[in-house]
Amino acid sequence: MTSPPSVQDFPEARADARAEARIYVAYHDARPVLGGRHLVPIQVGRALTGVLLPGVAGDDTGDNLSRLNPEYCELTAHYWAWRNDPADAPMGLMHYRRLFDLGGRQPARSHPERHVARFDAAAWAQDVDRHVAGAGRSDLVVPRPIRLRRSLARQYGRCHDPSHLRALRAVAAERRPDFAPALDRVLGGNRLLLGNMFIMPRPVFDHYSALLFPILAETRARIAAAGPGSGYQARYPGFLAERILTAYVLGGHARAAFPDLRVVHKTVLNIDATGPAAAGWPHLLRLCLERRIGLGDAWTLGTGRSRNRTAR
């Protein structure tokens, strides 16, 4: 039996290519795999399944959190890259269905997350290459922030278990008092960075990871004693991490550590057409009004003509 693929099987991971930007794309089941010079597909939660996705690295080797994927979501890929990938290069994380619009192809005034029915994977991979070639050494790419109708703290209390956020704030105050003011600042505001997505210079990636994972681990330990919940709410470490990333970037913590850092906000492309298409025309029309989808893409989804081209 051949051993399952690891990141070392990809050309980008060899020592002679350590200066190449590496953007991990997280997968948890069989989907068309996006390919490109700077893209590293990785299967998350692989320790919990007997199904190995072909040609995809796994998050279950070396120092890993693979078994915590039901709670940590895409963060198990982030942790694996931090602890196991030695590349001296920008590091990134996206999802199989949520990708940065690095080519600026979507309208500037669109919603921060834009549904795309006619996705061309080859053109998008070229956009990635062009972005990497033109990016500055101090560029930090994150999603455009979502503006909520209420503060992040109030929104979390309405949509999730508010005790989880209280535990996070307590851990930050006790363990990272240098970061706690940035966290409180953004929790009082209404801007949120969704998806735990980024492209960071390696020093920033290491700095952020060393902040994120110890805070999450301690918060999880305190919450576990009271019972963390189940189903959707069991993913609270992923939800809390979105608030931590928001505080790190929008709260000023990153720039305090890296004064030359340039934050670049990009629209997120949602290339999974199944949800909007299944919801029907009323939902598609609402998405149009909210600028979450273009009229052409709405028509494509509504008439069942989606033609995303995502072959590797």
In the prediction, which pLDDT does 1 show?
32
Confidence of residue 300 (pLDDT cuts 50, 70, 90): confident
In the prediction, which pLDDT does 17 show?
46
In the prediction, which pLDDT does 185 show?
97
Instruction: Please say whether the beta carbons of 200 and 208 come within 8 A.
Output: yes
- Give the least confident one: 164-173, 270-279, 301-310: 301-310
What integer is the mean pLDDT of 293-301? 82
Count of C-beta atoms within a 10 Å radius of residue 133 = 9
User: Does residue 268 carry a pLDDT above 70?
Assistant: yes
User: Does residue 7 carry a pLDDT above 60?
Assistant: no
- Give the least confident one: 12-16, 186-190, 271-275: 12-16
Angstrom distances, CA of residue 228 to CA of 49, 85, 128, 224: 23, 31, 38, 5
Q: In whole angstroms, give the CA distance from residue 111 to residue 140.
A: 20
In the prediction, which pLDDT does 204 show?
98
Instruction: Please say whether the beta carbons of 144 and 250 come within 8 A.
Output: no
At residue 222's C-alpha, the angle toward residues 176 and 217, to 5°, is 55
Confidence of residue 85 (pLDDT cuts 50, 70, 90): very high
In the prediction, which pLDDT does 18 show?
54
What integer is the mean pLDDT of 235-262? 97
Task: Kindly give, in sequence order, each residue whose CB lies less than 8 Å from that of residue 283, ignoring residues fewer than 6 positions away.
Answer: 276
Rounded percentage of the chain residues whose pLDDT exceeds 70: 87
In the prediction, which pLDDT does 31 show?
85
User: Does residue 269 carry a pLDDT above 70?
Assistant: yes
Instruction: Please say whether the beta carbons of 258 and 203 come within 8 A.
Output: yes
What integer is the mean pLDDT of 120-135? 94
Q: What angle separates helix 162-175 from helix 236-250, to the nearest 10 degrees?
A: 50
Q: What is the pTM of this model?
A: 0.88
What integer is the mean pLDDT of 207-217? 98
In the prediction, which pLDDT does 264 show?
97
Domain boundaries defined on the chain: 136-271
In the prediction, which pLDDT does 55 show?
86
Condensed to tens digits (0 to 9), the pLDDT of residues 28-78 reads 988 888 989 999 999 999 999 988 999 899 999 999 999 999 999 999 999
Average pLDDT over the chain, rounded to an integer: 88
Going by C-alpha positions, the residue among 33, 16, 172 that lies closest to residue 96 is 33
